[in-house]
Structure 1
Amino acid sequence: MSDGDESSPHNVSQIGTLVEIVDFETLEDGLLGITVYGKQRIRVKRVWSEKDGLRVGEIEHLPNWQTAEFVEDTKHVSQQLRHVYSQFPQVKNLYEQCFFDDATWVSQRWLELLPINQTKFDLLVSQESCSATLDFLSEAIDSKPLARD
């Protein structure tokens, strides 16, 4: 993913999302707040740092995960996300609409929230569908119940 001679950051996931910036603002703490809309799944082929520290990369487009239905034994993954969103409405409010009946959407939201190491994250998001992620989430939630509604 990185070139040998270039100053290459190694903490960049191999899979990501091409986004459109839809809004930005200066936050109270002086940081820049950016609102983005995810458009296309991508693979980072190469990444390097410019002399000024700006990261630059070469990407290839990947097919987006398609909408998927839950099977009966994975519906709790969606129920638990609803529970998390009820406890943390500021997270839920990041989305204009929630699609709790779409296994792909729910899987992607969990991947945004959970502290998964980069290797596992890359393995899950590099798959052609959300199936492996949903299996991982289902097992993780079954082994450590968060809450039952």
Structure 2
Amino acid sequence: MLTHEMALITRDALLLPDGRIEVRVVDPAQLEVIAQVLKGQYRLAFAMERADKAIPCYPAATECSIIDFNLLDDDSLGLVLEGQQRVKILSAAQRRDGVWIARTLASNNWQHEPIEGEFELISQALAQFYEVNPDLFGLYANLHLDDATWVSQRWLEVLPLYNKDKQLLLSQPDCHKTMDFVLELIKSHAR
């Protein structure tokens, strides 16, 4: 059981493997840990916030890499993160500067599989969603709309669900329950 120490970024958002998100970093301690990540001193994990526990997030997180960064108008740092590998947070400790460092264990990513039959509707709806949300669309060089796992993970990232409900779908061994959920949601709004 190989565990890794990772710097932890938490937000009220979800990032999964092959997904991308832009986050704003203002706190000097967070900026310092980002520099340490870039120097290879830490790996980086992104997790959904959870205020009611000793650890500031849900246990399902995603190891990610920094693929771009920009100095924003307010002198804060904008980072574009790309999800790589699902991880489980086993424990976390807060440093004196307020930064959280987590002990993680790799989890299985969902396997890629083709979208077939009526589930192609989910893929088409995601393409339309990105057309009307160009900021999100701009994060991706390629959309993998023929991959059920990629499509269902992107839907989990953008759907306005409670984080605990997203965690239930993430705990499944594959994307099938998420595909069923999104398809029913789309069909119920089309009626």
TM-score band w.r.t. shorter chain: 0.7 to 0.9
* Structure 1 vs Structure 2 CA RMSD: 1.9
Higher strand share: 2
Segment of structure 1 superposing worse, 121-130 or 43-52: 43-52
Residues 13-58 of structure 1, C-alpha deviation per residue, up to 9 Å, x if partnerless?
2212101112222111332111222221111122332232111211
Whole-Å separation in 1 of the counterparts to 2:108 and 2:164: 21
Alignment TM-score, normalising by the size of structure 2: 0.67
- Structure 2 residue runs of 5 or longer lacking an equivalent are 1-52
Q: What is the CA-CA distance between 1:90 and the residue it aligns to?
A: 1.9
Aligned residue among 132, 139, 143 for 1:98: 143
**Structure 2 counterpart of 1:85:** 130
Alignment TM-score, normalising by the size of structure 1: 0.84
Alignment of 1:35-54 (within 5 A): 35-54=80-99
Alignment of 1:105-120 (within 5 A): 105-120=150-165
Whole-Å separation in 1 of the counterparts to 2:68 and 2:81: 7
For residue 13 of structure 1, give the secondary structure of its aligned residue in structure 2: strand
**Structure 2 counterpart of 1:3:** none
Runs of 4+ residues deviating >4 angstroms: none
**Structure 1 pair 9/145, CA: closer, same or farther in 2 (3 Å)?**
farther
Aligned residue among 52, 71, 74 for 2:119: 74
C-alpha contact 1:8 1:48 (8 A) present in aligned 2: no
**Structure 1 counterpart of 2:26:** none
Whole-Å separation in 1 of the counterparts to 2:106 and 2:54: 21
Alignment size in residue pairs? 139
- The alignment-based identity, stated in percent, is 35
C-alpha contact 1:8 1:49 (8 A) present in aligned 2: no
